[in-house]
Chain A
Amino acid sequence: MSFLKKSPWIIHYDGSSCNGCDIEVLACLTPMYDVERFGIINIGNPKHADVLIITGAVNSQNASVIKTIYHQMGDPKVVLAVGICAASGNFFRDCYNIKGGVDTVIPVDIYVPGCAARPEAIIDGVVAVLKLLEEKTKK
């Protein structure tokens, strides 16, 4: 399964993010950072994806959407929570409509810190994913 190790495909879901982390995830794909040179492709279909990137906290509406996307993905799969909102909910956890971080609905493997998370940090997170994917594949 060396193709997995070399080029994970990602699917990005925007939870209740403020767009800050979203555009940084998108910025990773553009010429300055260009993760596509590593074979990392952002796709829309969960069945093709190895990595689920989630930005923003979980609210009452998107909890089921996140679960659906997660269960549609084939094994092995890795979840990357980008930004502080996805990790813990940030100060939004005090809001009535917010449940908390992504780990309240699905298991998260790697947290990327930052508000907004920098592209370098996101790429770092994706690199950490490669190792994890390899381990998961061996099992």
Chain B
Amino acid sequence: MNMNQEIKELKENELISNVSRLFKEGYRLVQISCSKSDKLQLDYSFDKEYFLLNLRLFLSLENPEVQSITDIYWSAFTYENELHDLFGIHVREINVDFKGNFYRIQEDAPFLNSDSIQHGGKE
């Protein structure tokens, strides 16, 4: 059943060339997600004929930075602003930069800052 998806690990500088190749091959941008462990794991998911290809990057927790793909996939700005607002990742050269106002929340980067998870609940 795992036939219909694949995960490909990349270095950060290979991202743009890979994404533009996928764009030319007619892949559709499905999503960009981020998961936090001891590193930040970025997944760029693309779909072509029900096959899901994931490009995976790892970023360090300190000052994470990544190049924007909005030059290639225009609508990626929603995902990239989400990365910025929830995970505190600085996305370079984004086409519509909300500068932290896409999600109107009080805390900065709540998903990165695990302390906020502990204090967030009200007993």
Contacts and interface: CB of A to CB of B under 8 A. Distances in A.
Interface of A: 60-61, 89, 93-100, 104
Given A96-B116, A96-B117, A60 B106 contact: yes
Contacts of B106: 60, 97
A93 B122 contact: yes
Interface in B51-94: none
B contact face: mostly helix, strand, loop, or mixed:
loop
**What's the interface size class on B, roughly?**
10 to 19
Given A96-B110, A96-B117, A97-B110, A61 B105 contact: yes
14 contacts: A60-B106, A61-B104, A93-B121, A93-B122, A94-B120, A94-B121, A96-B110, A96-B117, A97-B107, A97-B110, A97-B120, A98-B120, A98-B122, A104-B122
Nearest to A62: B104
Contacts of B121: 93-96
A89 B110 contact: no
A56 to B, nearest CB: 15
Contacts of A95: 120-121
